[in-house]
Amino acid sequence: MSAQLRNFINGEYVAARAESSFELIDPATEQTYGTSPVSSREDVDTAYAAAAAAFEGWGETTPAERQLALFRIADAMEARAEEFADLESRDTGKPRATLVADEILLSVDQIRFFAGEARHLGGMSAGEYLKDHTSFVRREPIGVIGQVTPWNYPLNMAVWKFAPALAAGNTTVLKPSDTTPSSTLLLAEVAAEFLPPGVLNVITGDRTTGAAMIEHKTPQMVSITGSVRAGMEVAKSAANDLKRVHLELGGKAPVVVFDDADIPSAVRGIVSAGYFNAGQDCTAATRVLVQAGIHDEFVAALAAHARENAKTGAPTAADVFFGPVNNARQLAQVEGIIERLPDNAVLELGGHRQGSTGYFHEATIVSGLEQTDEAIQNEIFGPVITVQRFSTEAQALEWANGVQYGLASSVWTKNHGRAMRFAKHLDFGCVWINTHIPIVAEMPHGGFKHSGYGKDLSSYGFEDYTRVKHVMSFIGE
- Residues carrying an active site annotation: 248, 282
| Dihedral-angle region of residue 166 (phi above 0 means left; psi in -120 to 50 means alpha; beta otherwise) | alpha
DSSP 141: E
253: nearest Cα among 460, 411, 374: 411
**CA dist 424 to 248, 260, 354, 393, 403, Å?**
22, 20, 41, 13, 17
CA gap 90, 183 in Å, rounded: 10
The whole-angstrom distance between residue 377's C-alpha and the CA centroid of its chain comes to: 20
CA gap 472, 477 in Å, rounded: 15
CA gap 401, 426 in Å, rounded: 6
Kindly tell me the burial class for residue 417, based on how many C-beta atoms sit within 10 Å of its own C-beta (0-12, 13-18, 19 or more). Answer: exposed
Is residue 58 within 8 Å of 169, Cβ to Cβ?
A: yes
- The size of the chain, in residues, is 477
Where do the DSSP E strands lie in 176-271? 200-202, 221-225, 244-248, 254-257
Is residue 415 within 8 Å of 434, Cβ to Cβ?
A: no
Is residue 139 within 8 Å of 121, Cβ to Cβ?
A: yes
- Neighbour-count burial for 341-375, b at 16+ CB within 10 Å, e otherwise: beeebeebbbbebbeeebbbbbbbbbbbbeeebeb
One-letter amino acid of 159: V
